[in-house]
Amino acid sequence: MHPSVVTRFAPSPTGFLHIGGGRTALFNWLYAKRHGGKMLLRIEDTDRERSTPEAIEAIIDGLKWLGLTWDGEPIHQFARAARHAEVARDLVARGHAYFCYATQEELTEMREKARAEGKPMRYDGRWRDRDPATAPPGVKPVIRLRAPVEGETMIEDMVQGKVTWSNSDLDDLVLLRSDGTPTYMLAVVADDHDMGVTHIIRGDDHLTNAARQTQIYQACGWPAPNMAHIPLIHGPDGAKLSKRHGALGVEAYRAMGYLPAALRNYLVRLGWSHGDQEVFSTEEMVQFFDLKNVGRSAARFDFAKLSNLNGIYMRQADDRALLAAIEEMLAHVEGGEATLKALQGEGRTRLLAMMPGLKERAKTLVELMDGARFLFAKRPLTLDEKAAALLDDDGRKRLAEVVAALEAVSDWSVASTEAAVRALSESTGAKLGQLAQPLRAALTGQATSPGIFDVLAVLGREESLGRLRDQL
């Protein structure tokens, strides 16, 4: 165990926080918490063309919603450009890097030639040992790493194990662009070093980068942090998660009515396991999380399992907390304002009262609100197909009997209405279901709902009887 663990989540602000990034953040957060360390947040915005303030905001918003916190202020990588350039120049001064004047055309040529020969694309090192005095006029150079040409580069990855590359497969990468800005490779190494990062936990799409970054660490004379390359999350079709495959931002999951705790639980089990345990409180996750139990193969995203977990979390949730989550969801969903408005006053009271019955029957907050629609509906209700079928001639006849029985009830409650309907069932010989279903249809406009006597109680005597008479 390390005395003080420092992890970091380092997204590039070119879009929202997608689900894979969310899991990477979660793993970093858990690992830091588990070891009593810190998780830093670094915005990798050195790509000035594609980085946007909106994306930064979306990422931060996403992390907050997911309940993942970081220590200190977010670090903006671009702000450290001067430091990066300094590291690059120092490397040149010490002979570990050099100026390269090759043009884009020359590079393209090299790439095509390599492809034609079936070799990996690599810069041929034409400026590696050339005298900068022979540089063509007017060409601004880049700084490239003078990478070792012989031997191997090896990393001891905490998830992938020992991984080695032949140095002959790795070329002299660019550290500093011709405009003086750092490349990702340089910036990452310099920042992780300067920030005191002890553990780099990131997607395994960075595995090959790890080799090149290791070479930079070596050139700088810095010890490389521990690394853990976690497998990616794939779409349902097994291919890389892309926008086309529904690589949604975490805020999309909020809008779909998932609870952050459920999403965290789902995400942590993608690639990580603790025996047969499926449901983890946040405390348990922190207590048990370990890189040792992270697998090496990619996982597919499965909405069915997420929904199942979400249902479990919803059923366990406190009614008021659920209401708060619903309001947060509505604030982020199109057309949510209208429902939000309906949740003032009476509507709010009704929803809260009906919550135990509703949360039992929904897997997402959206489903829950769908099932709650009848609470806000105005008379006369429009019936859906199944409800209409329940109120055929026979159904209406029974409904009339039920109405008569209920009209006799004065102290309106779950118990009293149930007693009245049960008594009717006994005296007429009708099964309870034969009375309850028409009742449900008339009261809710649907064939399914929470317990019908609960509905009666929540709606109240006047509204209930009104809705029933509307259907006679």
Partner RNA sequence: GUCCCGUUCGUCUAGAGGCCUAGGACACCAGCCUUUCACGUUGGCAGCACGGGUUCGAAUCCCGUACGGGACGCCA
Q: Out of 65, 127, 165, 313, which residue is the one contacting RNA (CB under 7 A)?
A: 165
Q: Out of 76, 83, 89, 177, which residue is the one contacting RNA (CB under 7 A)?
A: 177
Specify the residue, 126 or 305, whose C-beta has the smaller distance to RNA. 305
Pair of tokens at residue 360: 């039992």
CB of 240 to RNA, least distance (A): 2
Site for RNA in 294-313 (CB under 7 A): 295-300, 302, 304-305, 307-308, 311-312
Site for RNA in 188-217 (CB under 7 A): 204-209
CB of 341 to RNA, least distance (A): 27
CB of 44 to RNA, least distance (A): 3
Site for RNA in 95-134 (CB under 7 A): 102-104, 107, 111, 115, 118-123
Specify the residue, 14 or 336, whose C-beta has the smaller distance to RNA. 14
Residues facing residue 8 across a β-bridge: 40
Specify the residue, 198 or 437, whose C-beta has the smaller distance to RNA. 437
Residue 362 buriedness (CB in 10 A; 0-12 / 13-18 / 19+): buried
Question: Are 26 and 267 within 8 A, CB to CB?
Answer: yes
Q: How far is CA 469 from CA 164, 376, 403, 444, 450, in A?
A: 78, 18, 8, 13, 21
Site for RNA in 217-276 (CB under 7 A): 231-232, 234, 238-240, 269-271, 273, 275-276
Site for RNA in 49-88 (CB under 7 A): 50, 77
CB of 433 to RNA, least distance (A): 4
CB of 206 to RNA, least distance (A): 6
CA pair distance 36, 466, nearest whole angstrom: 60
How many residues bind RNA, per CB under 7 A? 88
- Binding of RNA at residue 292 (CB under 7 A)? yes
Specify the residue, 109 or 346, whose C-beta has the smaller distance to RNA. 109
Inter-axis angle of helices 345-359 and 319-331, to 10 degrees? 110
Question: Are 20 and 232 within 8 A, CB to CB?
Answer: yes
Specify the residue, 81 or 465, whose C-beta has the smaller distance to RNA. 81
Specify the residue, 66 or 155, whose C-beta has the smaller distance to RNA. 155
CB of 345 to RNA, least distance (A): 27
Part in contact with RNA (CB under 7 A); list of ranges 22-30, 125-133, 292-300, 333-341 = 292-300
Site for RNA in 373-402 (CB under 7 A): none
- Binding of RNA at residue 24 (CB under 7 A)? no
CB of 195 to RNA, least distance (A): 15
Tell me, yes or no, if 243 is annotated catalytic: yes
Specify the residue, 22 or 311, whose C-beta has the smaller distance to RNA. 311
Q: Out of 4, 166, 427, 428, which residue is the one contacting RNA (CB under 7 A)?
A: 166
Site for RNA in 329-358 (CB under 7 A): none
Pair of tokens at residue 184: 């990702």
One of 64, 140, 243, 341 is an active-site residue; which one? Answer: 243
Window 134-163: contact mask with RNA (x via CB under 7 A): --------x-----------------xx-x
Q: Residues with catalytic annotation?
A: 243
